Structure 1
Amino acid sequence: MTKDLERDLGLFAVIAISMGAMIGSGIFILPGVAMAEAGPAVILAFVIAAILVVPAALSIAELGTAMPEAGGDYVFIERGLGPSFGTIAGLGTWLMLMLKGSLALYGGMFYIDFVRELPTWDLAIPVLDATLPIPGVRALGITFAIIFIAINLIGVKQTGGIQSIMVVVMLVILGVFVAATIVQVDGANYDGFFDEGIDGILTATALVLVSYAGVTKVAAVAEEIENPGRNLPLGLAISLGVTAFLYALLVFVLVGVIEGDQLVGTEEPMAEATEILFGGVTVGGIPIGGFAVGAIVLAALLALVSTANAGILTASRYPLALSRDDLFLKKFEYIHPRFNTPTVAILTTGAIIIFIVATQNVDEIAKMAGAFQILVYILVCGALIAFRERDLEWYNPDFHTPGYPWVQLFGIVSGIFIITQMETREIVGSIAIVIFGFLWFKWYAEDNIDREGVAKGLARREAGKQFVQDTEEALQDDDRYEVLIPIRQDVTREQEDALIQMAAPIVSRRGGRIRVVRFDEVPDQVPLDTAAEDVSEADLEFEERTDELVRYLEVPVEVGEIVSHDTRHAVVNFAERTGADLILARQEATSRLGTLFGRDTDWIMDHAPCDVVFVQHEQRVTVEEIAIVTDRSPFNDPLKVELADAMAHVLDARVRFLYAVGEDEPDELVETIEDYHDELDDLVDVPVESTIIRTDDSVEGLSRELESADVVMLSTMTHRRLPDLVIEQRSDRLAAAIEQPVLLVHSKQSRRGTFLRPIVERVLFD
């Protein structure tokens, strides 16, 4: 059984990933350091650096739409220029990402140190200052590095939602900073704009190049992007344009509001500027300087800590990819059996980052990272030329770089020129990585591989995509009723069997089919293609047990497997692609606190393109009575009746409607409910009983009446976090009070309407 990789990154996620990787050291650390090289013309350095990145970004966009594979620039270079250049690119990118992560770790700690040195520190946190002194900047950086290494080792999941929120928070804080400070720009600060000459500007450009390293980071997850032909190039263009404009605007403000001697050389320019401008400002007698500095420090730490953690995560993928392609030591291919993370790659990456933080200065780290970055960008432009000029039949990108080949030639020539303008240390480092990569390939890898250039092994991904492709093609000519049963990795044979047993009569009655799909969720630290190629004993056991379970069924059953970083997105996307009519999934009982933090089932209910049924207490039983607890829901009740009728018709079972009214409710309400049950009865072909219970405790009264039922159907709706923390849904309380299998039914129609619908439904039907 092949595994498909789930595309669940949209345009906003592409922009968030790219901008989140760029908005960091470029504005929070480097302006002061770069101004020491270029003076006020440091603004031009940021603009020129952005222009130098454009050819590589356009090339990445085209290559990513032609080969939306996990791995990004390393894969493109290795496929286009051959494994020798791929080795150089993989090692160079690995080093560049480690340097960028080190820069974020080291530079971010200056902001903590800045807060500690403020005059208000002793007054604000006297106990912490007296008894728990903060260690030095390097020690802080190493401490955070160790924490992030541990996080990546155990595979704690990062989410696109958190990344997006962080980007929005940073943009808001930086936008407020610009709006509050741009009116205070002093033109005199720009006197002597070109005093440092073109050499100073070029040196500063090489220094700040690392600011834009994140623009192509998203290419490493190209295989996970929805509609890559549109979202990849558009996302790269938007993120690069917005970030370049933001950098230029912020540096313009920093130079204009701070005296040159105060800005030059400082490692925390944003905090320094905020303290100078707002340190003594009060509004209505309230000092706001501390709040302003705190907001800037928060934005800096969000950006830099996120960049550092992402640096370890992303960097560790490169030795893993090199190892899997037989270009590096095989021990880097090791995946921890429990945490499913590349342990050796993460530990090695983390150790090198710790060494860099402990021994190098900010400007040295930034310059060396920029040198390796430019080297990789030169190779990316060369790889695109190789693909274009070989006229390959399969090379059919959805996006074509405008200005080819002049844009790529400009990228190569300008990149070489910038490297020659760097200091001796960076030039030697760039030459050394090229020589080392070539010698390593000759000594270690050349005899292990028999491929060269663009013609090699792209077919390995095609088999992995076949399951969904076949499914979609089949559905074009087939409108049968589809039930999707998503199976998580921890589902047992008995639980899977119970779900299939419940789906079978529904499908049999309607003449449809069941799709049993296992959704494997892997940590962000592991590329999806790596996980898809790993066939474990659990995979084989799932396939074997599913084949055995469906032998006794008289309905068509198809089995597949999908690998993703986010199961809930994968389930919804698959249901939408295949035209599923019903998602039938198991659900564990969730505490109120769990509801507060958000449940995957709620997200699925809000986004699924079809009806959704969650099963609790699933077990294989003989079904003689199906009980439906009605609640006058105009959408869920008819769906419950429809499903119960299909099950009862095939299983030769009876259906019973139940409704609970208060002891003091008038008889007119009972008559209304009886009439309502009669209307529902008209939708059913099997025998139906109606029971109306008078009780002041509906959960207790209903659970007592449900003891004779074999299957219970309840309505459910999306949990609204805080409201459900205060008042738990009756369906949750009732499901917890009984032992029988419970089907929690949610009609797709119930999502329609205004934001008031959940409130109205809670009042009327709960």
Structure 2
Amino acid sequence: MSGEPAPAQRMTVMQATFIGVGSMVGAGIFALLGAAGAVAGSAVWVSFLIAGAIAALQGYSFAKLGATYPSGGGILTFLSRGFGEGHVAGIGSWLFFVAGSIVVAMIATSFGGYASAVVAGGDATWAKVLAIALIAVMSALNTVGANAVARVQSVIVIIVLAILVVFAVVTIAALDPALLAPSGYPPVPDVIASVALTFFAFLGFGVITFTAKDLAHPARELPIAIYLALAVATTIYVAVSLGVFGTLTADQVVEYGTTALAEAAKPTLGEAGYVLMVITALFSTTGAVNAGLYPSIGMSRHLASVGQFPPVFGRAVGPFPVGLIVMAVLAAVFVLGFDLNNIASIGSAVALLVFSAVSVAHLRLFRVTGANAIVLVVGLVATLGTFVVFCTTTLLEEPATALALAGILVLAVIVDFSWKAASRRRGSSPMSVDP
């Protein structure tokens, strides 16, 4: 707790912020511009702004909960505090674990696309090989410890943010206002529909809640890290999307896909700009995979300790914690089995459901946390509304993704009920809550 003396080698508030920023920026800028542009056109910056506002509402909720219940279990501790260690918390935990794997898979896929363009002429097979290799390397780094993860992440994020700021400044200074004219925007429902996709770019801020166990004074520092990370990420998303869509047409951004940012650098920075942005993309996606894998260790150990996950998740195989191994393997499966857009869609849907459940849990606890109930309700309505829009647009157009999402939900329910039934038969079902 925050009143206890701080052990040595604690994570700083800026390092926790960088873990969140690194996870968000890697997913949002280099992976989603093309996909979001296909729906929202040149109004993507508006979509990012709306998604950032929704994320801020959730960030307020997470900050209040994290200050009251700092734990290595992060937002999953919040679920258990609100609903108890029953099926709601258990199913939510399995869903969040899968969502974490999806986030890692999508960012690694983006890395593989850039890396294969550099070393293998864009070969699709090499893209998947390199994506899985990155997951393996970052998994190894995470076994070294939280401080190693934080130090590497800080260096990567500082480099990436510096380059993105330069990119945003030079592209906005030279943008063509006609390309961003509201008259060229798609219908409002399309822009709203794209929010479900761009919200995926903000999923990384949830990772910050798992840094509580490594912060010296989590009750004070965790909210600061959450607010800072969201402010930085939203500013970068809006500025960079203005620069990109003010330089390229929406059709060009869609055509270039994951390399759209690098292509947008050419008119102002030339070929050197293209190379620089490719390098930046590799750094950014590397940092995002690093940050995405970070929660798996503390999360799985916490969930095993309270009986939500089997005890094996609290153990290790040599230096590799079992939770980290399972998340890395799941991410590799998603890399091999889904394309980039499908991965993003599934991840968004799962995360929106989990975040909504956390909001409901918080409404049961707001008198304890001191949160404003009206803000919590607005956040819940906005998050659920985004999920409904997502289901009535994206999922209707992607039946395979809808089936995969349904499969994940059903599997989470089956696994949770089966594990708890087996645990009761053995008469061993620890249900304590991590302090």
User: Which band: TM-score by shorter chain?
Assistant: 0.7 to 0.9
Q: Which moved more, 1:413-422 or 1:95-104?
A: 413-422
CA contact (8 A) 1:103 1:357 kept: yes
Matches within 5 A, 1:302-701: 302-336=283-317, 338-339=318-319, 341-342=320-321, 344-388=322-366, 395=368, 397=369, 400-401=371-372, 403-411=374-382, 413-421=384-392, 422-424=394-396, 425=399, 426-445=401-420, 448=423, 457-458=432-433, 461=435
Is 1:252 aligned to 2:227, yes or no? no
In structure 2, what is the Cα distance between the partners aligned to 1:267 and 1:303?
13
| Change beyond 3 A, Cα 1:449–1:4 | farther
Asked whether 1:63 is paired with 2:59, we answer no
Find out whether 1:35 has 2:37 as its counterpart. Answer: yes
**Aligned counterparts of 1:68 and 1:152: Cα–Cα separation in 2:** 21
Contact 1:71/1:221, CA 8 A, preserved across alignment: no
1:49 maps to which of 51, 58, 82: 51
Contact residue 78 and residue 84 of structure 1 kept, 8 A: no
Question: CA 1:10–1:313 in 2, change beyond 3 Å: closer, same or farther?
Answer: closer
Matches within 5 A, 1:159-178: 159-178=149-168
Q: What is the root-mean-square deviation of aligned Cα atoms in Å?
A: 3.0
CA distances 1:68-92 after superposition (whole Å, capped 9, x unpaired) = 1111111110221132111122111
Q: Deviations over 1:28-61 (max 9, x none)?
A: 1211121011211222211121122222211111
> Structure 2 regions of 5+ residues with no counterpart?
426-430
Change in CA separation of 1:202 and 1:412 when aligned onto 2, cut-off 3 Å = closer
Identity across the alignment (%) = 21
SS at match of 2:148: coil
Between the aligned partners of 1:9 and 1:304, the Cα distance in structure 2 is 22
Instruction: Determine the C-alpha separation between the residues in 2 that align with 1:252 and 1:330.
Output: 48
Q: How does 1:721-732 map to 2 (within 5 A)?
A: none
Is 1:95 matched up with 2:98?
Answer: yes
Measured in 1, the distance between the counterparts of 2:258 and 2:374 equals 39
What SS is found at the alignment partner of 2:162?
Answer: helix
**Structure (1 or 2) with the greater helix fraction:** 2
- Quick one: structure 1 residues 192 and 327, their matched pair in 2 at CA, closer, same or farther if it must change by over 3 Å? same
Does the CA-based 8 Å contact 1:15-1:239 persist in structure 2?
yes
User: Post-superposition shift, 1:371?
Assistant: 0.8
Distance in 1 separating the partners of 2:87 and 2:110: 34
Greater shift, 79-88 or 153-162, is seen at 153-162
Contact 1:59 1:401 in 2 (8 A): no
Matches of 2:294 and 2:325 in 1, distance apart?
A: 11
1:91 and 1:433 in contact (8 A); partners too: no
Deviates more, 1:30-39 or 1:309-318: 309-318
Equivalence for 2:79 = 77
Return the alpha-carbon distance in structure 2 between the equivalents of residues 178 and 359 of structure 1.
34
Compared CA separation, residues 176 and 444, structure 1 to 2 (3 A): same
**Offset from partner CA, 1:621-664 (integer Å, 9 cap, x none):** xxxxxxxxxxxxxxxxxxxxxxxxxxxxxxxxxxxxxxxxxxxx
- Indicate the larger mover: 48-57 or 375-384: 48-57
Contact 2:98 2:330 in 1 (8 A): no
The answer as to whether partners of 1:52 and 1:415 remain within 8 angstroms in 2 is no
**Larger Rg: 1 or 2?**
1
1:182 lines up with 2:157 in the alignment: no
Distance 1:327 1:365 in 2: 26
Supply the distance in 1 between the matched residues of 2:389 and 2:124 (Cα, whole angstroms): 40
What aligned pairs does 1:747-766 form with structure 2 within 5 A after superposition? none
Residues 169 and 414 (structure 1), Cα distance of their counterparts in 2 relative to 1, 3 Å cut: same
Q: Shift of residue 262 of structure 1? A: 1.7
TM-score, length-normalised on structure 1? Answer: 0.51
**Partner Cα separation in structure 2 for residue 99 and residue 79 of structure 1:** 26
Q: Match for 1:361: what amino acid?
A: D
- The change in CA–CA distance for 1:332 and 1:231 in structure 2 (over 3 A counts) is closer
Structure with bigger RCO (C-alpha 8 Å, 6+ apart): 2
Seen in structure 2, the aligned counterparts of structure 1 residues 193 and 6 have a Cα distance that, compared at 3 Å, is farther
CA–CA distance in structure 2, aligned partners of residues 354 and 5 of structure 1: 37
2:418 is matched by which residue type in structure 1? W
Higher strand proportion (structure 1 or 2): 1
Give CA deviations for 1:78-133 in whole Å, capped at 9, x if unaligned. 22113211112211111111111111111112223444589xx9xxxxxxxxxxx9
Under a length normalisation based on structure 2, what TM-score does the superposition of the two structures give?
A: 0.86
